[in-house]
Each structure stands twice: as C-alpha cells, then as structure tokens.
Amino acid sequence: LQKVKNDLEMVLSIVQSKNKKIEEDLKREQQWHEEQEQILDALNGIEEEMKKQVVRFSEKSREFQELKNEMLKLRAYKEELVNALSEFLEEHFPLPQKSGSAKKKKNSSEEPAVQLITLHEILEILIKKLMSTPHEPYLTINDSFWPPYIELLLRYGIALRHPEDPNRIRLEAFHQ
C-alpha cells in the first residue's frame, strides 16, 4: 500500500508539473493570441485607411481626368479662335502692297528697309508681352509696325500708349 501511495504521489507530482507546464504554455499561447489580435486590429485599421485613401485617390483621379479633358477642350477651342482670328485678320487687314507708281519712282532693285509685320503678329507680340511681363507690358514701336495698324489698335481701345513715351504701347488688359 505504501508503495502504491508513493507511486501515486509520484504520478501526482508528474501530472501537477505537466499541468503547470501546460498552464504556462496556455498563458504564452493566450498572450501570443492577444498580440496577434492586436496586430490584426492594427492591420484592419490600416486597411480601412488605405481603402479611404484609394476612394479619395480615385475621386481625385476622376476629377483630374475631367480637368484634363476640359483643358484639352479649351485648348482646341483656343486653337479654333486663334485660327479664326488669323483668317479674319489676313482677309480684312492684309499687309500694304507697293503700288505700281511707287515702284517706278524707286529703283526696282531696292528692297524695303524694314519687313512689315502683320496685324496678327502685332497682336500676338502684345499678348505675349502682357502675359509674360504683366508688370512691364509696354512694347516699343519700331519701323516694322505699320503706322495705320498702330492707329487702329489705339483708336478702338485695343492698345494704349505709354503715358510718358508715345513710342511705346501695351495691350488693354481685358482679362482684369
């Protein structure tokens, strides 16, 4: 009986030590499980945030695409307007032609001293000057500008003279 008792105590102590070990393993596994749940929660939070960002990005991408399409339409419209203006100016405001009597008076081998520029080119120069240097939009008039074109621009309020220098003009700032 004593031997059985000793054997049972030994078995009891072994079982108790195994139980302690299993309880420690269980605690470690529970702690690992809690850490994994925390990581999972953090990843779920990050996933939600990323989904929100993707939605915002897709909305911005759509808005960007719409703006890009609108800009392309505006560029095409601007090109149409520039072409129409160019055709109108070529038709109604051509460069002056030398008359036959003027050629007879001058030497036929003599070329004009300065190449005159078209009204369209004058307007382009004035627009570029206004847009590139709005703080100093004045353009100095030289011999390549045909005086009747300059007078036309001034008379109809398209261009303005410099208050101190009559040889300088600027485009009226219609965009302001």
Q: What is the pLDDT of residue 71?
A: 95
Instruction: Please tell me the number of Cα atoms within 13 Å of 35 on its side-chain side.
Output: 6
According to the model, what pLDDT value does residue 175 have?
A: 63
Give the start-to-end residue ranges of the domains of the chain. 1-60, 62-93, 114-175
Question: Which residues of the chain fall below pLDDT 70?
Answer: 98-113, 175-176
